[in-house]
Amino acid sequence: MTADITRLSAATLAAELAGKQMSSVEATQACLDRIAEVDPQLHAFLYVDAEGALATAASVDRRRDAGEELPALAGVPIALKDVMAMRGVPTTVGSKILENWRPPYDATVVSRLREVGLPVLGKTNMDEFAMGSSTEYSAYGPTRNPWDHDRIPGGSGGGSAAAVAGFEAPLAIGTDTGGSIRQPAAVTGTVGVKPTYGAVSRYGLVALASSLDQAGPCARSVMDAALLHEVIAGHDPRDSTSLPGPVPDVVKAARTADVRGLKVGLVKELNGPGYQAGVRQRFSEVVELLTALGADVREVSCPNFTYALGAYYLILPSEASSNLARFDGMRYGIRLGDDGEANVEEVMARTREGGFGPEVKRRIMLGTYALSSGYYDEFYGQAQKVRTLVQRDFAAAFADCDVLISPTCPTTAFPIGEKVDDPLAMYLNDIATIPVNLAGNGALSMPIGLAPEDGLPVGLQVIAPPRLDDRLYNVGAAVEAALEDRWGHPLIEEAPQ
Partner 1 sequence: MNTKVTPALVPYDDAVARYEPTLGLEVHVELGTASKMFCGCPTAFGAPANTQVCPVCLALPGSLPVVNATAVESTIRMGLALNCTIVENCRFARKNYFYPDMPKDYQISQYDEPIAIDGYLDVEVPTSDGVETVRVEIERVHMEEDTGKLTHTGGATGRIHGADYSLVDYNRAGIPLVEIVTKIVPGTGALAPEVGKAYVSQLRDLMRSLGVSDVRMEQGSLRCDANVSLAPPDGPLGTRSETKNVNSLRSVERALRYEIRRQAAVLDAGEKVKQETRHFNEDDGSTSPGRSKEEAEDYRYFPEPDLMPVSAQPEWVEELRATLPELPAAHRKRLQSEWGISDFDMQSVINAGALELVEATVAAGVSQAAARKWWMGELAREANDRGVGLSELPVTIDHIVRVEDLISSGALNDKLARKVFEGILAGEGDADEVVAGRKLELVSDDGALLAAIDEAIANMPEVVAKIQSGKQQAAGAIIGAVMKATKGQADAGRVRALLLERLPAEG
Partner 2 sequence: MADLTREQVAHLAQLARLDLSPDELDHYNEQLNVILAAVAQVGEVAARDVPATSHPIVMTNVFRPDEVRPGLSREDALSGAPAAQDDRFRVPRILEEEPS
Catalytic center residues: 81, 156, 180
Q: Is 127 in the site for partner 1 (CB under 8 A)?
A: no
Q: Which of 354, 362, 283 is nearest to 321 (CA)?
A: 362
90 exposure class (CB count in 10 Å sphere: 0-12, 13-18, 19+): middle
Contacting partner 2 within 382-441 (CB under 8 A):
382-389, 391, 423-424, 427, 437-440
Q: Is 332 in the site for partner 1 (CB under 8 A)?
A: yes
| Widest pairwise Cα distance in the chain | 73
For partner 1, the closer of residues 30 and 243 by Cβ is: 243
Q: Is 208 in the site for partner 2 (CB under 8 A)?
A: no
Site mask for partner 2 (CB under 8 A), range 315-354, x = bound:
------x---x--xxxxxxxx-xx---xxxxxxxxx-xx-
Q: Is 495 in the site for partner 1 (CB under 8 A)?
A: no
* Residue from 137, 140, 275, 356 in contact with partner 2 (CB under 8 A): 356
| Residue 177 interaction partner, one of partner 1, partner 2, none, beta carbon < 5-8 Å per kind | none
| Residue 304 interaction partner, one of partner 1, partner 2, none, beta carbon < 5-8 Å per kind | partner 2
CB of 210 to partner 1, least distance (A): 4
For partner 2, the closer of residues 78 and 324 by Cβ is: 324
For partner 2, the closer of residues 338 and 493 by Cβ is: 338
Q: Is 99 in the site for partner 2 (CB under 8 A)?
A: no
Contacting partner 2 within 457-486 (CB under 8 A):
466-467
Contacting partner 1 within 471-490 (CB under 8 A):
none
CA 130 to chain centre: 10
Per CB under 8 A, the segment of 99-107, 159-167, 186-194, 355-363 that binds partner 1 is 99-107
CB of 82 to partner 2, least distance (A): 16
* Residue from 140, 147, 203, 473 in contact with partner 1 (CB under 8 A): 203
For partner 2, the closer of residues 238 and 298 by Cβ is: 238
For partner 2, the closer of residues 105 and 487 by Cβ is: 105
Contacting partner 2 within 102-131 (CB under 8 A):
102, 104-105
Q: Is 301 in the site for partner 2 (CB under 8 A)?
A: no
Q: How many residues does the chain have?
A: 497
CB-based contacts of 36: which residues, under 8 Å, 6+ apart? Answer: none
Q: Is 369 in the site for partner 2 (CB under 8 A)?
A: yes
* Residue from 36, 68, 105, 303 in contact with partner 1 (CB under 8 A): 105
For partner 2, the closer of residues 7 and 350 by Cβ is: 350
Q: Which of 306, 316, 310, 305 is nearest to 463 (CA)?
A: 305
CB-based contacts of 353: which residues, under 8 Å, 6+ apart? Answer: 336, 361
Q: Is 373 in the site for partner 1 (CB under 8 A)?
A: yes
The packing angle between helices 50-65 and 10-18, to 10°, is 40
CA 255 to chain centre: 23
* Residue 339 to residue 228: CA distance in whole angstroms: 48
**List of residues contacting partner 1 (CB under 8 A):** 84-85, 91, 93, 98, 101, 103-105, 107, 202-207, 209-211, 237-241, 318-319, 321-322, 325-328, 330-332, 340, 344-345, 348, 368, 371-373, 376, 380
